[in-house]
Amino acid sequence: MKRRSVFYLLLSICISALIFTVIACKKDNQNTGRRWSPESGRMPQAGDEYVNPFDESVLVWIPGGEFYMGSEEGDPDEKPRHKVTVEGFWIGKYEVTNKQYQKFLRATGFPEPQYWDDPDYNKPELPVTGVRWYEAVGYCEWANLRLPTEAEWEYAARGGRDYEYPTANGSISHDLANYWGVEGKDTWLNTPAPVGQFPPNPYGLYDMAGNVFEWTSSLYYRYPYISTDGREDQEARYFRVMRGGSWQFSSGECRSAFRRRFDMHLRYDYVGIRVAKSMQVQRGGK
């Protein structure tokens, strides 16, 4: 009798521990919206958010780890699928908006984006479009931020769950993202949507799938992704990679692994910015 009650006691402890672990793991990948500041004196944790004082971008902390980058089923430039390690970093919760970009223009005198006077593109809550790679970098430098690397972008896109599409559940539909065509929640045919209209991915990031393509810091090199092989040379003149698909292209380009090479000097109405930041938040530490 005594032996049996010990057995049941141990069993219930095991089950409780299992439930606790499952909840903790789930929580680890969820965005909690908890505010973090450098003054808190603690390391950022999964789900923390930081408001960048220079441009008011909300940044979400992405804990470091390993993931599989690329796809064996996608385009040739996505192969081979390979393991990449990423340090923890901050990434923009939303695409940079026209409202934010306007503050940058006023402060720096950078040229206006191509569609700045077009009412289809210039509303404050829309993502900024028509920006060259250099202009995206200029914005980031002014805001004490940087562009995400291609590896960081895909790692964040996959939401800690190896999602094929960087949406709320890893699949794609017009209820989850703005891409070419209209249906369901996606009522935008010929323009981007205001940022944040669709549910976020598990890290709490909005519009990683569709809306506007997002510049990365990376040169368009073959895989495997090796951060030290020259592809992160910010002075080099070559194609850079954009990620995430856009309102003007099909759902296939919204895939987490999809890579689009783009001329650094060009501006288009489907190209925008998502910012990133390394761990240091003090001025000077990008």
Q: Which positions lie near Ca ion, rule CB under 5 A?
A: 178, 186, 188
Question: Dihedral of CA 235/245/49/170: which sign?
Answer: negative
**For 155, phi and psi rounded to 5 degrees?**
-60, -45
Contact 163, 120 (CB under 8 A): no
Least Cβ distance, residue 250 to Ca ion (angstroms): 11
Nearer to Ca ion by Cβ, of 44 and 244: the residue is 244
Least Cβ distance, residue 193 to Ca ion (angstroms): 7
Nearer to Ca ion by Cβ, of 151 and 193: the residue is 193
Contact 168, 201 (CB under 8 A): yes
Q: Which of 273, 249, 267 is nearest to 130 (CA)?
A: 267
The residue behind tokens 């995430």 is: 244
Nearer to Ca ion by Cβ, of 31 and 178: the residue is 178
Nearer to Ca ion by Cβ, of 221 and 247: the residue is 247
DSSP state of 2: H
Sheet of strand 276-277, all strands in order from the earlier edge strand to the far edge: 34-35, 48-51, 58-62, 89-92, 276-277
Least Cβ distance, residue 71 to Ca ion (angstroms): 24
Nearer to Ca ion by Cβ, of 140 and 176: the residue is 176
In total, the chain counts a number of residues equal to 286
Least Cβ distance, residue 223 to Ca ion (angstroms): 30
Least Cβ distance, residue 247 to Ca ion (angstroms): 5
Nearer to Ca ion by Cβ, of 147 and 172: the residue is 172
DSSP 31-77: ---EE--GGG-S---TTEEEE-TTT--EEEEE--EEEEES-SSS-GG
Least Cβ distance, residue 128 to Ca ion (angstroms): 18
